[in-house]
Amino acid sequence: MTIFDESYDPRFEREALINFCRDVFVHYGLERDDATLSGRVLVAADARGIPSHGVARLARYVAGLETGAIVADAVPEVMHETPISIALDARGAMGVPVSELAMKSVLDKARTGGAGFATVRDSNHFGIAAWYAMQALEHDMIGIAMTNTAALGVPTDGTRCMFGTNPIAFAAPADKEHAFVLDMATTAVPRGKIEVYARRGKPLPEGWAADARGRHASDAPSLLDSMNRYAGGGLHPLGGAGTMFGGHKGYGLAVMVDILCGALAGHAFGQHVRDNAEAAGRVGHFFAAFRIDMFRPAAEFRRDMDQLLNDLRNCPPAEDRERVYYAGLKEIEAEEAAARDGVIIEEAVAAKLNDIGTRVGVALPPAIGAK
């Protein structure tokens, strides 16, 4: 086992990190199983190389539990149900367990009925969308998961935040190849990218964000300030400013997610989803799955998926690139590395976890190789 020197970000055993999160969540009143699952989803993001959605968010979950934005003992309510659908009201519950419940119901319904759908209203951050979509894979189903989020994006030719980063996850199984797992925000970049540029004092590239007058926002700190005051400006949708590079398409996809997770779920949508003291950042979700053998034998589909994905992986790369990936491949390779070497947690994040642990009396596990 490698002994890391101080310049390395620490690595942790995956299960130890999950147990740490579990114990923190239990301290805040979550049922033990829900707490474990919530930890599992956070740590999965880190293991898959998506630290923006990993344990770095524990502080925000804890803040939510402390203010009551996340209701630790909420009991979700079934608003409407059919043989292939369920509409849930999370009543402010922790996002992960109620989403797991919804996706399990979707899969059960799809097993007997061919397809399953679920909406969840009045929920909270559910971690990585791929977590839910991927649950369809082992059942030879195609899985879909979406959520709306606090408004951060401006419409094409607009100047005010009217939709969130509204991710779409889509998972389809293969046979020998790794599954195709798409998990993408529908804005060009996440807010976190703007924050990184603000910290580094770098001008923003054209196509990421608009200022309050709808022009290219190059100054990250003033953009963030304006966004925080709801004074205008925000992230461009996927495709950037205007229509020249397809910004109207990303805008359309973001609104599509809002229609399914907001209007269809009976939750707030658009500019009305805000993450602040008054609004608590409650969000809505949409889940779906359907059986591949409604169309053709699953084994045939998986064989074709192998060819499709293998073709993509073997596409000759650009002269300055080594490889061509397909959606989900980088993440599964990161997960394999994490299983071998431990889950990398940025040093600053590990320090914050330690602070949370100290406050609630839960010890952060030692980093792998730490003395």
29 makes contact with a second copy (CB under 8 A): no
Among 29, 49, 158, 281, binds a second copy (CB under 8 A): 158
Residue among 257, 253, 222 nearest 236 (CA): 253
DSSP 289: E
Q: Which of 111, 176, 215, 359 is the binder for a second copy (CB under 8 A)?
A: 215
Contact 146, 133 (CB under 8 A): no
* Residue 214 binds a second copy, judged by CB under 8 A: yes
Does 153 bind a second copy (CB under 8 A)? Our answer is no
Cα dihedral across residues 312, 313, 314, 320: positive or negative: positive
- Identify which of residues 12 and 301 has a Cβ nearer to a second copy in the complex: 301
Q: Do 274 and 281 form a contact (C-beta atoms < 8 A)?
A: yes
Mapped onto helix, strand or coil, the DSSP state of residue 121 is: strand
CB within 8 Å of 285: residues ≥ 6 apart: 95, 99, 102, 118, 119, 120, 123, 126, 145, 146, 147, 261, 265
C-alpha 127/C-alpha 275 separation (Å) is 16
Cα 39 to Cα 123, 127, 227, 293: the distances in Å are: 17, 10, 30, 34
Note whether 162 binds a second copy by CB under 8 A: yes
Task: Give strand pairing partners of 288.
Answer: 117, 144
Q: Which residues in the 279-318 window bind a second copy by CB under 8 A?
A: 290, 292, 294-296, 300-301, 304-305, 308, 311-312, 315-318
Rounded distance, CA 155 to CA 158, Å?
5
Please list, residue by residue across 23-35, b when 16 or more beta carbons sit within 10 angstroms of its beta carbon and e when fewer do: bbbbbbebeeebb
# residues near a second copy by CB under 8 A: 87
Min dist. Cβ of residue 308 to a second copy (A): 5
Cα(199)–Cα(354) distance, integer angstroms: 23
Residue 155 is a binding residue for a second copy (CB under 8 A)? yes
Q: Does 259 bind a second copy (CB under 8 A)?
A: yes
Q: Please, what is the minimum distance in Å from the beta carbon of residue 337 to a second copy?
A: 19
Q: Which of residues 185-204 bind a second copy (CB under 8 A)?
A: 185-186, 188-189
Question: Judged by CB under 8 A, does residue 323 bind a second copy?
Answer: yes
User: How far is the CA of 239 from the CAs of 32, 208, 280, in angstroms?
Assistant: 43, 9, 30
In this chain, which of 220, 255, 280, 362 binds a second copy, going by CB under 8 A? 255
User: Closest distance between a second copy and the C-beta of residue 280, in Å?
Assistant: 20
Q: Which of 4, 218, 219, 266 binds a second copy (CB under 8 A)?
A: 266
φ/ψ of 235, rounded to 5, equals -70, 140
Work out which of 100, 208, 224, 367 binds a second copy, going by CB under 8 A.
208
Q: Stretches 8-16, 64-72, 221-229, 254-262: which one binds a second copy (CB under 8 A)?
A: 254-262
Alpha helices in 28-150 (DSSP H): 32-47, 58-67, 95-113, 130-133
Give whichever of 136 and 362 is closer to a second copy, judged by the CB atom.
136
Q: How far is the CB of 39 from a second copy (least distance, A)?
A: 28
Cα four-point dihedral sign 130, 135, 139, 143: negative
Least distance to a second copy, CB of residue 236, Å: 9
Restricted to residues 109-138, the positions that interact with a second copy (CB under 8 A) are 113-115, 117, 119
Choose which of 122, 150, 326, 343 interacts with a second copy (CB under 8 A): 326
Q: Is 49 in the site for a second copy (CB under 8 A)?
A: no
Tokens coding 330: 């980088």
For the CB of residue 199, give the shortest distance to a second copy in the complex, in Å.
Answer: 18
Please tell me whether residue 142 binds a second copy under the rule CB under 8 A.
yes
Q: Out of 12, 132, 251, 287, which residue is the one contacting a second copy (CB under 8 A)?
A: 251
Q: Does 182 bind a second copy (CB under 8 A)?
A: yes
